[in-house]
Amino acid sequence: MASKSAIPPRRLKVYAARLDGLHDYVVAAPNQGEALKAWDIHQNLFQEGLASVTEEASAVKAANARPGVVLRRPAKGKGGWTEV
């Protein structure tokens, strides 16, 4: 009998957007569609250039600590990340 291997966890990316002009928003999600769903957005912000994958260290650390949870901070990186 062959051994069953564990299913690898889904790889997450951290997506960022400035949705209201006042805050930066991030979410760790497996794909763009899931990020849009988490943000409760029905238009494709990625296609419009208003959202993207981020590699900013503080955003990645905060979002990966709470996958699927939308986090925000004041625009331009001033302040810490808090749950929406």
pLDDT tens, 31-65?
999 999 999 999 999 999 999 999 999 999 999 99
Give the residue, 35 or 76, on which the prediction is more confident: 35
How many Å apart are CA 20 and CA 24, to the nearest integer? 8
Sheet holding 71-74, edge to edge: 51-53, 13-17, 23-29, 71-74, 82-83
Q: How many CB atoms neighbour CB 16 within 10 A?
A: 19
pTM summary value: 0.86
Q: Given this model, what pLDDT does residue 2 score? A: 47
Q: Enumerate the domain spans of the chain.
A: 13-83
Q: Given this model, what pLDDT does residue 47 score? A: 97
Would you give the DSSP letter of residue 33? H
How many Å apart are CA 49 and CA 70, to the nearest integer? 19
Q: Given this model, what pLDDT does residue 16 score? A: 98
The yes-or-no verdict on residue 19 having pLDDT over 70 is yes
